[in-house]
């Protein structure tokens, strides 16, 4: 089945791009993951601009795949006469001069594979969120797209007149296109392209080689891990929740949000997943982002931050763009930044706690880091039993949410464990007393005697898929009858066509239409933990079948059709895939002997 989001992601930790199944670059924010989308065709609502494409005359079919264990993409286009052209896309990432080389650059190599294909090269950037159409000016072997706000340089060995004129020509030799900053390239485009491509291939292959993979579902886990890496911004250590903005959660709705920011909650789960795979550098970078920038600037934590923590995040509408498939508005920034979401205190401490117990790290957590986290724990205790917008960021109400309170408890619990690890025994005992007192209050406030299960909010009714995370946080063991009853109630009330909604009651925009992908992964983990292992595997395989043609997941899925919706690729969804695969997989020893 064709997916609305048949897109592939490429990137290098500075910038990223999305490429359609037929090789069109329809999304690229520049010069940073949260920057101006110079290729904004994904949200343009027309076919007029904001893209870079190789248009094949008499186009018939396309095939697309990632080069094995890399973020390098190959797209093959064939015409109705059997002529074929291959497009190889990447963004350079490799070590050079003792540091990581990751320029804001898109590199495309176009080569004839069969026959004599006829193509047009169309490069139509836009600036200022689609408002500005820059003018292309040819140099000796480059084109400068110059606007009032920026300049983009295209270095190429293709005929410049053909590119500017979008003229059809026969492709009889490989061509290279490098799109990036307005800097002169030192050398021939073809040589630079192959050098960058070879070095980037080696980087990704080495990175994947260092992952601690489960025995089963390795290809799916590798692709998810690479995708998470593409969402991490090397320069600051922040991690975006997705590479896009305003892809609606469901068609015909206004549930359109900008996810190109760093949610403390999402980032905690991302670094946890990568850390379990052995990719610790992302965690170290993120902890530096939190402790070196966020904590030192603000006494009160916000739920979401820009990649540069003091940058703008105010929400506004980009009126020049009509939206994904015409479904607007296109939002820039996110008003969730001004919400009260009490789980953020726990998100910071839980993420940082890994630094104290991972012996692989060259600079593990010490008492100085612990002292910086102590105020977070104190604020968590104060906030735990107060109303907030909750995990799902309700814009029109505030309640005491069970998940938020549980994450605050997690902050106290982890700080006690860290203090014990550092042999600060009196403080460890104090944290434990405070955590035990809070735990009792949470379990009392969230329990609904009439329904016989835990509820989304204190003293209320309604279920929330985040309750499935209580054993992961550590508040309850999975064997606890209260948790088992809650799992069964969630499965009974929130399941649609075998997939899970976030919640069942109306929110600010009505009743949700689509299933939230990561919630189904949470149910997989919960089913496995309460002993329903075959049910867990069956649901996991069902979710895997929803991935698009290159193995990526969005935020949401329409339960009846299986179509993906929401911002893309969603880090939460890739995290769920990784953690469930590691939980469900047979051991290497068991898997090897059964395979034999």
> Could you tell me which residues come within 8 angstroms of residue 450 by beta carbon, excluding any fewer than 6 positions away?
none
Four-point Cα dihedral 487, 490, 492, 496, nearest 10: -130
> Are residues 309 and 293 in contact, defined by beta-carbon separation less than 8 angstroms?
yes
The separation between the first and the last C-alpha atoms of the chain, rounded to the nearest angstrom, is 35
Peptide bond into 31 cis (omega under 30): yes
Q: What is the dihedral of CA 232, 233, 238, 240, to 10 degrees?
A: -60
What are the two backbone dihedrals, phi and then psi, of residue 302, each rounded to the nearest 5 degrees? -90, 160
d(CA 476, CA 469): 9
* Helical pair 571-584 and 264-277, crossing angle rounded to 10 deg: 40
Q: What is the pLDDT of residue 380?
A: 96
Q: Provide the sign of the torsion angle of the four alpha carbons 338, 339, 342, 348, taken in this order.
A: negative
Q: Which residue is associated with the tokens 């006494």?
A: 299
Cα-based torsion angle of the residue sequence 123, 125, 131, 134 in order, rounded to the nearest 10 degrees: -80
pLDDT of the residue at 541 = 98
Identify the pLDDT of residue 116: 95
Residue 311 is predicted with a pLDDT of 87
Burial of 401 (0-12, 13-18, 19+ CB in 10 A): buried
Q: Which SS3 state, helix, strand or coil, does residue 26 take?
A: strand
Spatial contact of 474 and 413, defined as CB atoms under 8 Å apart: yes
CA atoms within 13 A of residue 493's CA, in its CB half-sphere: 19
pLDDT recorded at residue 130: 95
Identify the pLDDT of residue 297: 63
- pLDDT tens string 135-187: 999 998 999 999 988 899 999 999 999 999 999 999 999 999 999 999 998 89
Q: What is the pLDDT of residue 449?
A: 94
Task: Name the token pair of 282.
Answer: 């992302």
CATH of domain 210-586: 1.50.10.10
Give the pLDDT confidence of 226-271 residue by residue, as tens digits: 999 999 999 999 999 999 999 999 988 888 999 999 999 999 999 9
Is the bond into 442 cis (omega within 30 degrees of 0)? no
For tokens 């930044």, name the residue. 337
Q: How far is CA 248 from CA 47, 230, 242, 320, 539, in A?
A: 19, 22, 13, 17, 25
CA distance 328 to 244: 14
Q: Where are the alpha helices (DSSP H) in 358-448?
A: 367-383, 402-421, 425-446
Q: Which residue has the tokens 């906030």?
A: 383
CB 154 within 8 A of CB 105: no
pLDDT of residue 394: 87
Residue located via tokens 């079919």: 61
Six token digits for residue 422: 């550092």
Measured CA distances, 414 to 278, 348, 377, 432, 596 (Å): 21, 11, 9, 9, 43
Cis ω before 329 (30° cut-off from 0): yes
Q: Report the C-alpha dihedral over residues 386, 387, 388, 394, rounded to 10 degrees.
A: 160
DSSP state of 134: P
Q: What is the largest CA-CA distance in the chain?
A: 78
Q: Which residues pair with 74 in a beta bridge?
A: 65, 88
Which parts of the chain sit beneath pLDDT 50?
A: none
């Amino acid at each position: 089945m064709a997916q609305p989001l048949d897109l592939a992601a490429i990137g290098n930790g500075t910038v990223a791009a999305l490429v359609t199944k037929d090789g069109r670059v329809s999304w690229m924010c520049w010069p940073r993951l949260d920057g101006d989308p110079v290729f904004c065709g994904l949200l343009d609502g027309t076919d007029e601009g904001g893209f870079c494409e190789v248009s094949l005359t008499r186009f018939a079919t396309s095939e697309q795949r990632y080069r094995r264990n890399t973020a390098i993409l190959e797209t093959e286009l064939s015409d109705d006469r059997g002529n074929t052209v291959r497009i190889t896309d990447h963004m350079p990432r490799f070590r050079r001069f003792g540091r990581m080389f990751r320029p804001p650059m898109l590199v495309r190599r176009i080569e004839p594979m069969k026959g004599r294909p006829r193509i047009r090269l169309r490069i139509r950037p836009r600036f200022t969120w689609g408002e500005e159409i820059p003018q292309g000016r040819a140099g000796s072997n480059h084109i400068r797209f110059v606007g009032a706000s920026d300049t983009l340089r295209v270095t190429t060995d293709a005929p410049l007149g053909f590119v500017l004129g979008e003229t059809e020509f026969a492709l009889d030799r490989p061509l290279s296109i490098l799109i990036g900053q307005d800097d002169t390239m030192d050398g021939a485009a073809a040589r630079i392209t192959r050098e960058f491509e070879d070095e980037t291939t080696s980087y990704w292959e080495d990175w994947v080689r260092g992952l601690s993979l489960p025995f089963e579902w390795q290809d799916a886990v590798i692709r998810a891990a690479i995708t998470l890496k593409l969402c991490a911004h090397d320069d600051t250590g922040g991690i975006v929740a997705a590479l896009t903005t305003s892809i609606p959660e469901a068609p015909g709705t206004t549930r359109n949000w900008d996810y190109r920011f760093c949610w403390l909650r999402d980032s905690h789960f991302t670094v946890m997943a990568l850390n379990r795979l052995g990719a610790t550098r992302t965690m170290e970078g993120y902890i530096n982002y939190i402790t070196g920038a966020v904590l030192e600037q603000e006494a009160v934590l916000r739920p979401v931050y820009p990649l540069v923590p003091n940058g703008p995040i105010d929400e506004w509408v980009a009126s020049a763009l009509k939206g994904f498939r015409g479904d607007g508005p296109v939002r820039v920034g996110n008003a969730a930044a001004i919400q009260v979401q009490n789980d953020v205190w726990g998100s910071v401490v839980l993420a940082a706690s890994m630094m104290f117990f991972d012996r692989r790290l060259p600079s593990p957590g010490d008492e100085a880091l612990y002292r910086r986290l102590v105020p977070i724990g104190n604020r968590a205790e104060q906030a735990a039993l107060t109303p907030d917008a909750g995990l799902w960021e309700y814009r029109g109400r505030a309640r005491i949410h069970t998940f938020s309170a549980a994450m605050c408890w997690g902050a106290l619990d982890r700080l006690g464990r860290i203090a014990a690890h550092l042999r600060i025994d009196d403080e460890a005992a104090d944290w434990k007393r405070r955590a035990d007192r809070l735990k009792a209050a949470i379990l009392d406030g969230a329990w609904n005697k009439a329904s016989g299960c835990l509820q989304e909010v204190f003293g209320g009714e309604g279920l929330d898929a985040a309750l499935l995370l209580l054993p992961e946080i550590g508040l309850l063991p999975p064997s606890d009858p209260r948790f088992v009853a809650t799992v069964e109630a969630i499965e009974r009330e929130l399941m649609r066509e075998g997939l899970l909604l976030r919640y069942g009651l109306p929110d600010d925009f009505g009743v949700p239409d689509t299933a939230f992908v990561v919630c189904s992964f949470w149910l997989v983990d919960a089913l496995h933990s309460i002993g329903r292992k075959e049910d867990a595997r069956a649901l996991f395989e069902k979710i895997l079948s929803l991935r698009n043609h290159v193995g990526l997941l969005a935020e949401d899925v329409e339960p009846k059709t299986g179509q993906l919706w929401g911002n893309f690729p969603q880090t939460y969804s890739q995290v769920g895939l990784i953690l469930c695969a590691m939980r469900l997989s047979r051991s290497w020893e068991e898997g090897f002997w059964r395979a034999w």
